[in-house]
Amino acid sequence: MTTTRFAPSPTGWLHIGNLRAALFNYAIARQNGGTFVLRIDDTDAERSKEEYVTGITDVLGWLGFDWDRVERQSARMDRYLAAKDALIAAGRLYECFETPVELDLKRKKQLNMGKPPVYDRAALDLTDVQKDAYRAEGRKGHWRFKLDQARIEWTDGILGDISIDAASVSDPVLIRGDGQMLYTLASVVDDTEMGITDVVRGSDHVTNTATQIQIIEALGGTVPRFAHHSLLTGPQGEGLSKRLGTLALKDLRAQGIAPQAILSLMARLGSSDPVELRATIQEVVDGFDLSKFGSAPTKFDVEDLRPLTARHLATLSAADVAATLDAAGVPGDKHAAFWAVVRENIATLDDVAGWWTQFRDGATPLVSDEDREFVATAFDLLGDPPYAADTWSSWTNAVKEATGRKGKGLFMPLRQAVTGRQRGPEMAEVMPLLQVKPKL
């Protein structure tokens, strides 16, 4: 049984970078008829907040995700403590007492000597008497996993064959001095006990994966298949990490970005396949192929979501957006005609209300000084609403005869005067929707 997981930390709002891991793991599970686990990484009690947990489930639901079960790491502390005891008994977990300042001095000394800043394992030589002395000073020990200093190798689903020399990596801290179980240990225990078969995450986790493989093996677990996708950059290749706070999915939702646009872009961005608009998350899953993704940094531009949103909206029927039309005040008997006119002329559903207000109350005319007299004459030739499908043609013919104008010089000033816009839907379709006579 294929089993994947998405394990966000509820210490902030879910952002566009998080979504790649969520979508990739979800697609793998659903393509194989497997299980998708939503695992809330809330071991950091101080920074984790329930509002962020709610935000995670809300935005994933909005995007179309479903999950087979939800796990909370904060409810599994007994499992992590059991793993701690097992690793101590196996001689793979040892207590250290260096302060952050002392560790920093060690790193600087190693760098000055031209050596890699790898932890020197000094704590392995501590006697019980020395440990008791440190505790008497008020120091709280943190726990490191003792790596087997051999090469760690695996075939990555995106990056290919990976080989990392464990001797070049510091023994990872698994438990902090305050007792907090860190991600590395909690993730390994959960992946092992939950039968996770496939893990897709960012390429910044490659070294972490190497150490986790040894921890999994030390606990007697089965190593899952790993794949590491590229990290997102800005449109100019700039680092995106500092901007992710402005790319929260809840904010994109508030801006009117369609979930279909987000899913369609993120399912192909960084792959060799072109971005194709998909109507549902199932269509995204059906067209997903992990093997098409590369290792190069992936450029992301939030502006790419806007035309995709517009394209998606243009495919919808009036019934699909009935709630939005009602909220904008569009009468029910005009839903179909109104939506047919505006659906290809809006960027987001937030634009709907503006169009209806314009049709209901009249637009602010966009008229140049040289066209003002012409427009005034044209408006005198237009009767009062309701207007019909042939009103535009009959009116413009009358204006042409009265003024001698034709072509662009005739039609463009009238469009701008009636709609307040330089471009938009066919005027023959606009006229029947006008509730008031245009005026200067």
> Which of left, alpha, beta for 128 (phi over 0: left; psi -120 to 50: alpha)?
alpha
Contact predicate 268/276, CB 8 Å: yes
Burial of 253 by CB count in 10 Å (0-12 exposed, 13-18 middle, 19+ buried)?
Answer: middle
Residue 239 clears pLDDT 90, i.e. is over it: no
Exposed e or buried b per residue across 67-79, where buried means at least 16 C-beta atoms within 10 angstroms of its C-beta? beeebebbebeeb
Question: Per-residue pLDDT tens for 350-387?
Answer: 999 999 999 999 999 999 999 999 999 999 999 999 99
Q: How many residues does the chain have?
A: 440
Residue 240 clears pLDDT 90, i.e. is over it: no
Amino acid at 161: D
**pLDDT for 234:** 87
Q: What whole-number distance in Å separates Cα of residue 230 and Cα of residue 214?
A: 24
What phi, psi does 334 have (nearest 5°)? -110, 0
Give the pLDDT mean for 100-108.
96
Give the pLDDT mean for 160-171.
96
Q: Which two tokens stand for residue 356?
A: 């209806």
Residues 6 or more apart in contact with residue 3 via CB below 8 angstroms: 29, 34, 35, 36, 37, 194, 195, 196, 197, 198
Question: Per-residue pLDDT tens for 22-56?
Answer: 999 999 999 999 999 999 999 999 999 999 999 99
- What is the average pLDDT value for the chain, to the nearest integer? 95
Q: What whole-number distance in Å separates Cα of residue 117 and Cα of residue 124?
A: 18
Confidence category of residue 122, pLDDT binned at 50, 70, 90: very high
Confidence category of residue 297, pLDDT binned at 50, 70, 90: confident
Residue 244 clears pLDDT 80, i.e. is over it: no
* Helical residues (DSSP H) of 179-270, grouped into ranges: 183-193, 206-218, 249-254, 259-266
Residue 391 clears pLDDT 90, i.e. is over it: yes
Question: Per-residue pLDDT tens for 7-28?
Answer: 999 999 999 989 999 999 999 9
Within 10 angstroms of residue 211's Cβ, the number of other Cβ atoms is: 21
**pLDDT for 192:** 97
**pLDDT for 238:** 82
**Torsional sign, CA 28, 31, 37, 38:** positive
- pTM: predicted TM-score of the whole model, two decimal places: 0.90
Residue of higher predicted confidence among 240 and 219? 219
Residue 57 clears pLDDT 80, i.e. is over it: yes
Confidence category of residue 241, pLDDT binned at 50, 70, 90: low
